[in-house]
Amino acid sequence: MTTFRALDYPRDRAAVVVIITEREVSARAGHRDRLAALTAHALLEAGQLRGLFPAARCRKVAETVNAERPADWLRVLTELFDTEPTTADIMTALAARLPDKGLPLVHLHQPPVGGRKAGQLNFALDRLQRVLSPLGWREDEHADDTYAVVYDADAAPDRRTLQAFATAHRTRTRHAPALIQQQRLPLLARRPFPVGPVGLLLEGEWAYQLRRSLGIELARIRLDRFLAASRLPEAVRMWLRPMVYGVGCGKAVHLPAVRALGGFPEPMEDLGTGHRLSLLGADLTASTVAVLDEPYTEPSGLANLHALAFTASARPDRHAAAVAHLPSALSRPARVVLVAREWADEAAWLLGAPLMAAAVLSAWWAGPVWTAVAAAGVLLHGPVATARLLALAPALHSGVIPPPGLAALPRTSPRFRQD
């Protein structure tokens, strides 16, 4: 949390809110019941302790338990589990020793009310007056100048982030942007990729996420900005307008906009927010600074991400229905086209790879010219573009300036390490 408290911004103009849920307590009780089964037969392995202990400690815990007599394995593992601090314990200890300088830190504990990340964010929004009132904030007076900024806890934003958000807000002559999106660069490396086929899969996903951040998410926001300012006929813009994806790490949402939406939508608050604001024709823009985030180092988390993303994107008609009662800058036909475009994007996501493979294979029967065209297209779209992006990764990483007092930020790949 020291990363966020050290961002360059006036202390009386922002607060860092950490939201912890009661689900952690319930999950710990369930995990504790599993300890006996883990120690019943064979030696412990670090992989068996994932989810029970921090990933960095799993190997050490397994070695400590295995060094004891088998009769003591359960007792030792239980003691280590019980003494492992919870997130709430860590936050309490951290708040007690924080220096006075830096942005104020507020800790909220959500009761077991269900929901995912969106529910946690809405829980905080419902208590925003309590959080910000020590700074002299009142929603009826200051809402138009207020943004809810969302991050993952392990992210590392640029120290200039909040200043960049404020600049994006001030420079809009007509109205404040409903969404200011930072580009999430999965270039941190606090945990290494595993070795073997799983590691190769996760490294491929890392490259895909980096390419997606710049080639899809940023490109869509820039296209949306271009179309909003262009003089093209609406009949043309309607077919070119993209569905912008919000990204939950580095997303600043204008408080009146999120209030109008009724809060952040489940099951995936970032995609849902982006879809609904796109359907309203809201003003969306990109930040001038980026945020570094951790790539996935476990396949279970990766599978969960894609399942949630597909669930949140598969029914854009539901997002359209959820905001149908709100005033929109888009006509009804434009909203219908936007929903259809999102369905087309979903189809491309599912069918793009097999269709591309079929096109390349069938080109062989069409003759050498078409074979060369198909091969060149695949190379330019895939390996060549990805290799170029990976070559830019060190510059992208070094372009993010860490907040003062923090050590140099780690790089995702050893080959990016500076001598």
Cα separation of 123 and 17, whole Å? Answer: 11
In a domain, 167, yes or no: yes
In a domain, 3, yes or no: no
Do 308 and 382 reside in the same domain of the chain? no
Do 177 and 214 reside in the same domain of the chain? yes
* pLDDT value for 418: 37
Do 379 and 330 reside in the same domain of the chain? no
Do 307 and 323 reside in the same domain of the chain? yes
pLDDT at 286 over 50: yes
* pLDDT value for 419: 35
Find the CATH number of the domain harbouring 332.
3.90.550
Do 209 and 223 reside in the same domain of the chain? yes
In a domain, 188, yes or no: yes
* pLDDT value for 379: 74
Q: For the residues 285-296, what does the mean pLDDT come to?
A: 88
64-116 residue pLDDT tens: 988 888 888 888 888 888 888 877 777 777 777 776 788 888 888 888 777 78
Reported as a pLDDT band with limits 50, 70 and 90, residue 417 is very low
* pLDDT value for 298: 77
In a domain, 26, yes or no: no
Do 296 and 359 reside in the same domain of the chain? no
Cα separation of 220 and 336, whole Å? Answer: 18
Do 391 and 309 reside in the same domain of the chain? no
Most confident of 194-208, 245-259, 369-383: 245-259
* Distance from the first to the final alpha carbon of the chain: 29
- What is the four-CA torsion angle of 162, 164, 165, 166, rounded to 10 degrees? 90
Q: For the residues 45-65, what does the mean pLDDT come to?
A: 83
The answer to whether the beta carbons of residues 107 and 43 sit under 8 Å apart is: no
| Tokens 């912008």 found at | 244
Comparison of pLDDT for 387 and 290, the residue scoring more: 290
**Strands 147-150 and 251-254, how do they pair?**
antiparallel
Which of 326, 351, 376 marks a domain boundary? 351
In a domain, 11, yes or no: no
Reported as a pLDDT band with limits 50, 70 and 90, residue 411 is low
Do 217 and 237 reside in the same domain of the chain? yes
Which of 328, 351, 374 marks a domain boundary? 351
CA distances from 381 to 102, 215, 364, 374, 378 (A): 45, 11, 19, 11, 5
pLDDT at 407 over 70: no
Do 271 and 365 reside in the same domain of the chain? no
Range in 132-146, 177-191, 277-291 the model is least confident about = 177-191
Task: Tell me how many domains the chain contains.
Answer: 2
Q: For the residues 132-148, what does the mean pLDDT come to?
A: 91
Backbone angles phi, psi at 290, to 5 degrees: -110, 175
In a domain, 258, yes or no: yes
Residue 157's DSSP bridge partners are 291
In a domain, 70, yes or no: no
227-261 residue pLDDT tens: 988 889 999 999 999 999 888 888 999 999 999 99
* pLDDT value for 410: 67
Do 214 and 272 reside in the same domain of the chain? yes
Do 219 and 367 reside in the same domain of the chain? no
Do 313 and 323 reside in the same domain of the chain? yes
Comparison of pLDDT for 341 and 113, the residue scoring more: 341
Instruction: Find the domain containing 360 and state its range.
Output: 352-416
pLDDT at 415 over 50: no
Task: Indicate yes or no: pTM above 0.75.
Answer: yes
Comparison of pLDDT for 43 and 415, the residue scoring more: 43
* pLDDT value for 173: 54
Which of 351, 378, 404 marks a domain boundary? 351
Q: List Cβ neighbours of 213 (8 Å cut-off, separation of 6 or more).
A: 183, 184, 185, 186, 247
In a domain, 35, yes or no: no
Range in 194-203, 321-330, 332-341, 403-412 the model is least confident about = 403-412
